[in-house]
Amino acid sequence: MTILVIAEHEAGAVAPATLNTVAAAAKIGGDVHLLVAGAGVGAIAEAAAKIAGVAKVLVADNAAYEHALPENVAPLIVELAGNYSHVLAPASTNGKNILPRVAALLDVDQISEIIAVESADTFKRPIYAGNAIATVQSSAAVKVITVRATGFDAVASEGGSASVESVSAAHDAGKSSFVGEELAKSDRPELTAAKIVISGGRGLQNGDNFKHLYTLADKLGAAVGASRAAVDAGFVPNDMQVGQTGKIVAPQLYIAVGISGAIQHLAGMKDSKVIVAINKDEEAPIFQVADYGLVADLFEAIPELEKLV
């Protein structure tokens, strides 16, 4: 049994979710190979070869793979998949974009966002915004799976010594092209990798008021997230959304500020180690999942909190 993990990389480095996905592969058992696809990714492949538990790194270095366009990357993975029992990718927007396309081309179901490995063919995954956990068994010849990073503790990024092999296959479907991107620029840690996350909801009242959270976050070394309500109201961009349809986070500390706690939001953060809720409505459902609840006006509590930490 050999497992192919699709490495996620950004800005010239392996993205942390790759390490959690390798951990899921290790739980399945067997050799773990990593595919690094992109343009000019030699250095990334060298770094990936050091990841603990990886036996081989495949590098597909070609301009066609530069922006992870699924029309080009999916056929590459399909071509390699025949050698593998499982193909795993992080449940990032890239993984979610590419892997269902791979599964359909292989004529197998894809299993989305697993949070636990029961055996080589049986996995647990949340459904209904995490209000139920399904145990699913796959009979597919190649099991195509996306992995929710918060379900698995990351393997070490150093210590391994995998061989690096290049893959010459060049697939350019010529159906899509990259036009541009606007990436959120922030000196704060990435939401899904941060140890502390502070999220704001509709209680913040407007986008400008998020500055209170940013100040506190900078002091704590935290990332800043938001509820869907805050995104829908236009306070902050969608890449900050935590919840069923946004990002899934499980930091050491999650501070929910002015968030009522709709089930769709809880779906994205209830696996956090410690949850703090600050809300002036003492009936808010967020308090039902919070380890520490503070019934207070956030505009008074947040500046005070910033002074005390």
Partner 1 sequence: MKVLVAVKRVVDYNVKVRVKADNSGVDLANVKMSMNPFCEIAVEEAVRLKEKGVASEIIAVAVGPTAAQEQLRTALALGADRAILVEHADELNSLAVAKALKAIVDKEQPQLVILGKQAIDSDNNQTGQMLAALTGFAQGTFASKVEVAGDTLNVTREIDGGLQTVALKLPAVVTTDLRLNEPRYASLPNIMKAKKKPLETLTAEALGVALTSTTKTLKVEAPAARSAGIKVKSVAELVEKLKNEAKVI
Q: Give, as ranges, the residues between 94 and 113 that touch partner 1 (CB under 8 A).
A: 94, 96-105, 107-113
Query: Closest approach of Cβ 247 to partner 1, in Å?
Result: 7
Query: Closest approach of Cβ 90 to partner 1, in Å?
Result: 10
Decide if residue 281 touches partner 1 (CB under 8 A): no
Query: Closest approach of Cβ 55 to partner 1, in Å?
Result: 26
What one-letter code names the amino acid at 20?
A: N
Decide if residue 82 touches partner 1 (CB under 8 A): no
Among 49, 69, 114, 236, binds partner 1 (CB under 8 A): 69
Structural contact between residues 164 and 57, judged by C-beta atoms closer than 8 angstroms: yes
In sequence order, what are the beta bridge partners of 119?
Answer: 122
Among 16, 38, 53, 126, binds partner 1 (CB under 8 A): 126
Q: 189, 186, 214: which is closest to 199 by C-alpha?
A: 214
Looking at the Cβ atoms of 1 and 173, the one nearer to partner 1 is: 173
Site string for partner 1, 19-58 (x = CB under 8 A): ----------------------------------------
CB atoms within 10 A of CB 184: 11
Decide if residue 297 touches partner 1 (CB under 8 A): no
b (16+ CB within 10 A) / e for 57-77 = bbbbbbebbebbbbbbbbbbb
Site string for partner 1, 178-197 (x = CB under 8 A): xxxxxxx-------x---x-
What is the distance between the alpha carbons of residues 166 and 169, in angstroms, rounded to a whole number? Answer: 9
Decide if residue 276 touches partner 1 (CB under 8 A): yes
Decide if residue 74 touches partner 1 (CB under 8 A): yes
Decide if residue 130 touches partner 1 (CB under 8 A): yes
Where residue 5 falls (left for φ over 0; alpha for ψ -120 to 50; beta otherwise) is beta
Report how far apart the first and last C-alpha atoms of the chain are (Å, whole number): 50
Query: Closest approach of Cβ 159 to partner 1, in Å?
Result: 27
CB half-sphere exposure, 130, CA atoms < 13 A: 19
Site for partner 1 in 131-160 (CB under 8 A): 131-140
Query: Closest approach of Cβ 68 to partner 1, in Å?
Result: 9
Tokens of 92: 């990032």
At residue 212, what are phi and psi to the nearest 5 degrees?
-60, -40
At residue 120, what are phi and psi to the nearest 5 degrees?
-60, -20
Decide if residue 260 touches partner 1 (CB under 8 A): no
Decide if residue 92 touches partner 1 (CB under 8 A): yes
